Structure 1
Amino acid sequence: MKFGVVVDVEASRAIRQADVGAAKTMIERTEQRFGLKPERLIGDTAYGAAPMLNWLVEEKGIALHIPVFDKSKRDDGTFSRSDFRYDAAGRRLSLPWW
C-alpha cells in the first residue's frame, strides 16, 4: 500500500483479545461516523483467529491480507494436528497408536 490515513484510534491493552476488540470498534465507528469502509485490511497474526477473520469477510465484506493464527503444532502437552490420521476407507479420524 502506498498511502494510508489514520481516521480512528482505540486504545487497548497489549493483548491479542483487546487488540481484536479495538479493531472491530474502529472499523464500525469509522463506517458510522464517516461512511468509510475499508476494501481491504492488512494485519498480523493477532488478527488471524477464525472468529475475527469470519467477521471481517462474511459480515463486513473486507478483503484480507492477514496470516491465519496457526495452532496446528502444539507444545503444551495436547495433540497437534499432525498426531491425527484420517482413514478414508473407514471414514474416521484416529491417532496413530489406536
Structure 2
Amino acid sequence: GVVLWGDLSLSSSEEECWRLHDYLVDTLGPYVINVTRAAMACSHQQCHGHGRCAWRDPGQMEAFLHLWPNGSLEGWKFFSCHCYWGWAGPTCQEPRPGPKEAV
C-alpha cells in the first residue's frame, strides 16, 4: 500500500485519479521495486547476507542505492554494512558469539 499526504486535489476528479494511478504504476512502483531489490542485493553481496547497507555518511543525500541498467555497483561505495546481531566486521563475515556462547 501507499500513503500519500496532501489535500484532496489528488482525487478531485476522475482524470486526477487516473493521473495518480499512472504515476503509481509507471513511476513510483518501479522505483520502489528497484530500491528494494538494490537493498537486498547490497545486503547479500556486500554484507554476505548478515547485515544491511547503510549510508557511510547520512548527510550525503546525493548517494542512492539503486540497481543500474548497466549492472554498475559504483554507487555502493557510499554504503557500508550494518551487521545483524551475531555478526561483525566490515562485511559482516565474522561470527560474534552471543551471551551464552561467550568464553
More helix per residue: 1 or 2? 2
Q: TM-score range by the shorter chain?
A: under 0.3
The TM-score with structure 1 as length reference comes to: 0.23
